[in-house]
Chain A
Amino acid sequence: MAGAKEIRTKIASIKSTQKITKAMQMVAGAKMRKAQERMTASRPYALKMLQVIAHLSHASPEYRHSYMAANREHKRVGYIVISSDRGLCGGLNTNLFRKLALEIRDQRKAGVETSFAVIGSKALAFFRRFGGKVMAQVTHIGDKPHVEDLIGAVRVLLDAYEAGEIDAIYVAYNEFVNTMTQKPMIGQLVPIHAEKIEKIPTHWDYIYEPEPKVVLDALLTRYIESLVYQAVVENGACEQSARMVAMRAASENAGSLISELQLVYNKARQAAITQEISEIVGGAAAV
């Protein structure tokens, strides 16, 4: 029964793997719910901020902030690439990088230079292989990302934008459609799309402390940071749900593997018993 024993140890090892993937699936499920809560919790801030910005840009139309002016030609662009820190989450990061790589190729063809700010260690690893001008990076932000972790990386690109070194900033992340679907997205961050700032007729203006320009500067920077934060949180929710789905598939595969092996094992055992019986019968007949 040498074959049977081998199969038995194989089944045991697959079972323990299945236990791990099941546990990971459950953990990812719990984390996903929390990440989704964070996603919804971050929305009112950005929404409120957009209202204020819309009002401000309306109330003092003579001052156009450089983040809002959209007439520059895009010669050099910056990307904020958001990825997960850990693997085992299916094709989540790979899908995003593939989309990004295609986009970069197109940009290069069009003669547009690209530079990157990287969030998450998977993206960093990607750029190490892929090459490209990485201007800033943040990794290991954990399951509970904080805005202040991201300020630095965003600032680098915003500074470059203000200095005229880049003409636009894009953000690449995974959009959370639902638990089963995540969509890689590349969206424009700066300059802010004019249609986002809707037109509201106003007959009044704020009292500013200090002057409008300073207030608007502070608001816009925070608004952009909050958008990046939202993207990070959304990508986090994607990571957890992708991991949950991947781990569920892994557990199911382990299950079917186990039942197949069990069948083989049973057959081998049956064959051994049959052989033994026929040997005994043969032996008895000989006597």
Chain B
Amino acid sequence: MPMTVHVDIVSAERAIHSGLATMVFAPGEMGELGIAPRHTALITRLRPGEVRVQKMDGETEHFFVSGGMLEVQPHVVTVLADTAIRARDLDEAAAAEAKRRAEDALAGKAAEFQYAKAQAELAEAVAQLRAIERLRKTKVS
């Protein structure tokens, strides 16, 4: 029996995956990470991209994450996935938006187009496309 590590992928909205794996790949902020069982304890932020989980039967499962955190302990790997692209300026934009809405609601105005939001959606779409493309390639080969 090969050495395995337990992998949990959870987001704030639901548990996405849970099971044993022989190897996990994740897009860390400082570069792509490959995590084998008994990896030393590590915690890092994730970039938007795909997390690949190599299962015991040799199959690989792909998960798209829009960023988040990766926590590694020798026998447990946890991916705390974000449900949307996060960045400091984006969060600020969302905050400004919520503020503006509060002011508008009390004044009674309609919403308008948000540039930062559109940009973020584009970035997420591109990352998603890349993940899908890679998925297709692996399926064909």
Interface residues, chain A, with chain B CB atoms under 8 Å away: 38, 41-42, 44-46, 48-49, 52, 56, 117-118, 124, 128, 134-139, 146-148, 151-153, 155-156, 159, 204-210, 214-215, 218-219, 222, 225-226, 229
**Is B106 at the interface (CB under 8 A from chain A)?**
yes
Is B29's CB under 8 angstroms from A210's CB? yes
Given A153-B98, A206-B42, A219-B69, A134-B12 contact (CB < 8 Å): no
Is A138's CB under 8 angstroms from B101's CB? yes
Q: B12, B28, B29, B86 — which one has the most chain A CB atoms within 10 A of its CB?
A: B12
Give A218's nearest chain B residue, CB to CB. Answer: B45
Q: How many B residues touch the partner, as a band?
A: 35 or more
Count A-B pairs with CB separation below 8 Å: 133
Question: Could you say which of B10, B86, B91, B101 contacts A136, with CB atoms under 8 Å apart?
Answer: B101
Given A41-B13, A146-B84, A209-B44, A215-B30 contact (CB < 8 Å): no
Is A155's CB under 8 angstroms from B95's CB? yes
CA distance A207 to B70 in the complex (A): 11
Is A137's CB under 8 angstroms from B98's CB? yes
Q: B40: which A residues are within 8 A, CB to CB? A: 207
Question: Could you say which of B41, B45, B94, B106 contacts A151, with CB atoms under 8 Å apart?
Answer: B94
Interface-side segment among B49-57, B75-83, B133-141? B75-83
Is A207's CB under 8 angstroms from B101's CB? no
Is B84's CB under 8 angstroms from A48's CB? no
CA distance A153 to B94 in the complex (A): 8
Q: B44: which A residues are within 8 A, CB to CB? A: 208-210, 215
Question: Could you say which of A134, A204, A225 contacts B102, with CB atoms under 8 Å apart?
Answer: A134
